[in-house]
């Protein structure tokens, strides 16, 4: 049996779908369906059971660990614009810590979602404390749990892996609204208005030239499932492509798919000044060092595959 928290969310639902393709249907999905539209993400998946997040937490101490092969903890509040620190810490830190303790005590492999937001405005994206300086409470909630794992490493006798996701995009993210990927928004814009819009330059970057490490969700799921097959791997790892590409590259890929449209630049939002990562590029040497050898899709490859899915 495999438990996927956040299983009706973006990455979690893609993971459940791929587990089905691998022949696994003994899956328990844990999520919060207060936003009922998220059901669409798992409507085409086969699972064994579903638990509300709060119910799952309340029953965690009494959960029978026998037969649990793995817990993939993808559930979190991922809104970088959320400033309710109490909610963020309860949802992202305390919840994750409780799951961690359960898995470590029962020696159940545990893979959890960390984030590139732990690096903040730094331009060195290597998994070490000197590079970590989050710009928002979301990034801090993720960093604090990474620190908790580091402090308890000597007590861990089973697989525990944190994956610092960079800019993930792909199918099943439509429920995320403003936090959905650039590719998602640009695709909608061109269908609605015949134009795609990007922010003007900031922090020394030209119009649309801010750079991110955009990683396709299928590649993210592949890494998660590779870890299930390699239980000896432990630690905190960046999960990106290892190469930064510009927002202009995303826009060009969307325009190329549609074969029409214009690119327009709009003023950079004042509320994001000083709280915006203008450059991210995962150093994936640690992930490569533990044996992960598969390639990652470029923006051009991933965007085409993505738009093939959602537009057809």
The catalytic site residues sit at 138, 176
Alpha carbons 125 and 139: distance in angstroms, whole number: 14
Buried b / exposed e over 130-144, threshold 16 CB at 10 Å, is: eebebbbbbbbbbbb
CA distances from 22 to 26, 227, 295 (A): 11, 15, 20
Q: Which residues contact 282 (CB under 8 A, 6 or more apart)?
A: 116, 125, 164, 166, 213, 215, 238, 239, 240, 241, 242
Alpha carbons 61 and 109: distance in angstroms, whole number: 17
Residue positions counted in the chain? 312
Alpha carbons 160 and 147: distance in angstroms, whole number: 13
Report which of 39, 127, 115, 31 is spatially closest to residue 78, judged by C-alpha positions. Answer: 115
Report which of 23, 20, 26, 302 is spatially closest to residue 173, judged by C-alpha positions. Answer: 302
How many helices and strands, by DSSP H and E, does the chain display? 10, 13
Report which of 71, 44, 270 is spatially closest to residue 159, judged by C-alpha positions. Answer: 71
Contact between 123 and 279 (Cβ < 8 Å): yes
The two tokens of residue 238 are 């960046």
The two tokens of residue 213 are 């490490």
Angle ∠(246,171,308) on CA atoms, nearest 5? 80
Contact between 235 and 279 (Cβ < 8 Å): no
């Amino acid at each position: 049996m495999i438990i996927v928290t956040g299983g009706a969310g973006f990455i979690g639902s893609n993971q459940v779908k791929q587990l089905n393709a691998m022949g696994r249907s003994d899956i328990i999905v844990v999520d919060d369906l207060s936003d009922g539209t998220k059901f669409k993400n798992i409507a085409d998946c086969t699972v064994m059971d579903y638990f509300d997040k709060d119910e799952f937490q309340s029953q965690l101490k009494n959960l029978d660990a026998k037969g649990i092969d793995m817990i993939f903890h993808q559930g979190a509040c991922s809104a970088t614009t959320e400033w309710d620190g109490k909610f963020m810490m309860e949802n992202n830190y305390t919840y994750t810590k409780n799951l961690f303790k359960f898995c470590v005590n029962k020696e159940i492999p545990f893979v959890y979602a960390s984030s590139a937001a732990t690096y903040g405005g730094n331009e060195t994206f290597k998994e070490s404390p000197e590079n970590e300086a989050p710009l928002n409470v979301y990034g801090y909630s993720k960093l604090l749990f990474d620190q908790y794992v580091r402090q308890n490493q000597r007590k861990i006798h089973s697989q525990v892996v944190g994956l610092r996701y960079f800019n993930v995009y792909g199918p099943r993210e439509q429920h995320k609204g403003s936090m959905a990927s650039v590719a998602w928004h640009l695709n909608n814009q061109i269908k609605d208005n015949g134009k795609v819009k990007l922010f003007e330059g900031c922090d020394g970057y030209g119009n649309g030239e801010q750079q991110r490490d955009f990683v396709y969700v299928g590649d993210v799921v592949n890494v998660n499932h590779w870890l299930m097959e390699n239980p000896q791997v432990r630690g905190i790892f960046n999960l990106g492509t290892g190469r930064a590409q510009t927002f202009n590259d995303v826009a060009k890929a969307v325009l190329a798919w549609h074969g029409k449209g214009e690119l327009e630049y709009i003023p950079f939002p004042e509320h994001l000044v000083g709280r915006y990562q203008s450059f991210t590029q995962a150093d994936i040497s640690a992930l490569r060092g533990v044996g992960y050898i598969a390639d990652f899709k470029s923006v051009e490859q991933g965007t085409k595959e993505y738009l093939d899915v959602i537009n057809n």
